[in-house]
Amino acid sequence: MNAPETTRAEAVITVAKYEPAVYEESADGGTLSRIHVEESFAGDIEADGVVEFLQAAFADGSASFVGVERISGTLAGKRGTFLLQDQGTVEGSVVSGEWFVVPGSATGELAGLRGTGGFTANLGEGADVWLDYWFQAA
């Protein structure tokens, strides 16, 4: 099977709300937190996002996280919603990660959307994001 031809979308995320809540602490095993984030995308993706992250943070400042995010808005002018499944790390002051469009999650004009991408940011600043996407035939 041939790989699908993809289009790259690029955007910048601005965080509007960042609400961490610790749910388990261990002196030697890190701190587990749930983090609620609300953000907006500007660029090829013009949308709002809401995400819940689960994060393990360690005494050296590093962390690992996973999350699921609902994106509501437009991608290349097509309106709808879709889910992204995220995973990433914090190393020093750099946050980076990868994501993919959850299969079957896209609605509206974005129905059939598939894709993979990622993000990088300096901690506490907006993230540069990308999504290499295609539409799966029905």
For the domain that residue 38 is a member of, what is the CATH number? Answer: 2.40.350.10
**Band of pLDDT at residue 137, cut at 50, 70 and 90:** confident
CA nearest neighbour of 63 among 106, 43, 92: 92
Q: Is the CA virtual torsion 90, 40, 38, 73 positive or negative?
A: negative
Name the phi and psi angles at 57, rounded to 5: -115, 145
pLDDT at 123: 76
Residue 103 has pLDDT above 70, yes or no: yes
For β-strands 30-43 and 7-26, DSSP reports them as antiparallel
Angle at 17 between CA 15 and CA 21, to 5 degrees: 125
What number of other Cβ atoms are within 10 A of residue 121's Cβ? 20
Asked whether residue 19 is domain-assigned, the answer is: yes
Q: What is the mean pLDDT of the chain?
A: 93
Instruction: Give the residue-averaged pLDDT of 70-81.
Output: 97
Asked whether residue 124 is domain-assigned, the answer is: yes
Asked whether residue 2 is domain-assigned, the answer is: no
Is 70:49 a contact under the CB 8 Å cutoff? yes
108 φ/ψ sector (left φ>0, alpha ψ -120 to 50, else beta): left
As for how many domains the chain has, the answer is: 1
Asked whether residue 122 is domain-assigned, the answer is: yes
Instruction: Give the residue-averaged pLDDT of 19-46.
Output: 93
**Band of pLDDT at residue 1, cut at 50, 70 and 90:** low
pTM of the model: 0.91
Q: Which domain holds residue 52?
A: 7-135
